[in-house]
Amino acid sequence: RINDTLGHKAGDDLLCEVSVRLARVTREDDVIARWGGDEFIVLMKGQLSSESIAIKAMEILEVMRDPIELEGHHLSILTSIGIAQLAEKDQEADAFIQQADIAMYQAKMQGPGNYRIFATEMADRINRNFRYEQDLKNSLETELFSLVYQAKVKAGGSIVGLEALCRWQHPDDGMVPPDEFISLAEESNLILALSEQVFHLALSQLARWREAGIRLVPVSINVSGRQLLSESFVPFLHEALLKYGIEGRLLELEITEGVLVSDIDRCIEVLSKLKALGVAISVDDFGTGYSSLSYLKRLPIDVLKIDRSFIEECDSVSEDAKICETIINLARNLELTTVAEGVETQSQLAFLQSHGCDLYQGYYFHRPLPAAQVKGLLDE
């Protein structure tokens, strides 16, 4: 990207500066090589303890982070480091580099500015992910995905909404949790087909509940970035609502903060169209995105969902308590509804209620349940 915006000379200067900095924190007989693109390899001789490896990695991250001046711009490099240790003298170089590469990929997944040391579990995981990618494709055809529904309640316990959560019945491995397959589906193109299936499942369920004369409450669906920003999403949803005869007001979309700030202008466009369909918008995992808050003013948002990580210890004297309090106040000032997710205890509920949180979701009230069991709850 530097090549594109500042020109090739700047790109070359940057690569040069990177190697100078690497040389500064490595020893004279270490080898530094550019592996292509923006990837570098550092080869270090000798038996290093895991402590000294960690120190080395942090030195490199540190020295890279220092701003670089380039054509009047100040740039700072966030590095991801993967580390492999040569097992035996005659280990294949290719396999060795591949291990470092796998570890680097894991470091990247944790966010920039991290390092990871290769472990065999990482390779196992990659193999499993590869297998799952194939299996996802087949499972989409054979309809092995289903939804469970978790209630959103008022403090007194009355149900005012449901969140649809996807489940995968894997042919060999049994129930696979979404955290293990949603991101895989996102990396491949399968997320679009999977998400469409989720909408069909949820909307047909709403239609069935309506037919059975059950009190209907809005259902929230988690929407991935790829899906929200795809050209076909709004027309797809419009058609699906018509097909099942469901009003937009019975649908809420949960979108994570990261997606909303990734392309604000495009999101304003898409969300406005969704609002025109009557659909409500909820910011999922709020508080974990480390983003500026200005997007909250610009986007047509209805709900903030306080991330479970803040709820966990909100009832003890903690930073988390202050964060929850601040989010609730922020939401009130912006006239947004707050939902606390992952409420597990009476004392968490009491704390949140005393600060004016609107709605609650969590094992304390209800676990995610199959549709048949939810029916009983709504009838009550």
- Per CB under 6 A, residues contacting ligand C2E are 150, 165-166, 177-179, 182, 198, 222-224, 254, 284-285, 341-344, 361-363, 368
Residues 152-191 within binding reach of Ca ion (CB under 5 A): none
Write down the least CB distance from residue 341 to ligand C2E, Å: 6
> Among the candidate windows 223-231, 237-245, 252-260, 346-354, which touches Ca ion by CB under 5 A?
252-260
Cα 191 to Cα 373: distance, rounded to the nearest angstrom: 28
Residue with tokens 């500042």: 6
Residue 79's binding partner among Ca ion, ligand C2E, none (Cβ under 5 to 8 angstroms by kind) is: none
224 binds Ca ion per the rule CB under 5 A? no
In whole angstroms, how close is the CB of 2 to Ca ion at the nearest point?
Answer: 35
| Number of residues lying near Ca ion (CB under 5 A) | 5
| From candidates 135, 285, 315, 358, binder to Ca ion by CB under 5 A | 285
CB of 286 to Ca ion, least distance (A): 8
The tokens describing 183, both together, are 């991101």
Residue 250 CB, shortest distance to Ca ion, in Å, is: 17
Q: Any idea how long the chain is? A: 380
* Whether 229 contacts 263, CB under 8 Å: yes
Question: Site map for Ca ion, 340-369, x if CB under 5 A?
Answer: -x----------------------------
Binding test (CB under 5 A) with Ca ion, winner from 80, 234, 244, 254? 254
d(Cα 108, Cα 22) in Å, to the nearest integer?
19
CB 335 within 8 A of CB 357: no
Determine the Cα–Cα distance for residues 281 and 278; give it in Å rounded to an integer: 10
Least distance in angstroms from the C-beta of 362 to Ca ion:
11
- What's the closest the beta carbon of residue 362 comes to ligand C2E, in angstroms? 3
Residues 229, 136, 257, 327: what is their CA dihedral angle, to the nearest 10 degrees?
Answer: 140
CB nearer to ligand C2E: pick between 100 and 343: 343
Sign of CA dihedral 137, 138, 142, 145: negative
Backbone angles phi and psi of 142, in degrees to 5: -95, 10
Of 104 and 306, CB closest to ligand C2E: 306
Confirm or reject binding of residue 257 to Ca ion (CB under 5 A).
no
Closer residue to ligand C2E in complex, CB, 44/229: 229
C-alpha span between 272 and 281 (Å, rounded) = 10
92 is in the binding site of which of Ca ion, ligand C2E, none (Cβ under 5 to 8 A by kind)? none
- The least distance separating ligand C2E from the CB of residue 283, rounded to whole angstroms, comes to 11
**Counting contacts by CB under 5 A, is residue 284 touching Ca ion?**
yes
Q: CA-CA distance, 257 to 31, in Å (whole number)?
A: 41
Nearer to ligand C2E, 130 or 363 (CB): 363
Closest separation in Å from C-beta 320 to Ca ion = 14
Could you count the other beta carbons within 10 Å of the beta carbon of residue 350? 12
Cα atoms in the 13 Å half-sphere on the side-chain side of 149: 25
Q: Which does 282 bind (CB under 5 to 8 A by kind): ligand C2E, Ca ion, none?
A: none
Tokens (6 digits) for 249: 């007001």
Distance CA 331, CA 205 (A): 31
| Gap between the Cα atoms of 49 and 237, Å rounded | 55
Determine, following the binding rule CB under 5 A, whether residue 195 of this chain makes contact with Ca ion. Answer: no
> CA–CA separation, 288 vs 343, rounded Å?
17
Query: Which residues here bind Ca ion, judged by CB under 5 A?
Result: 222, 254, 284-285, 341
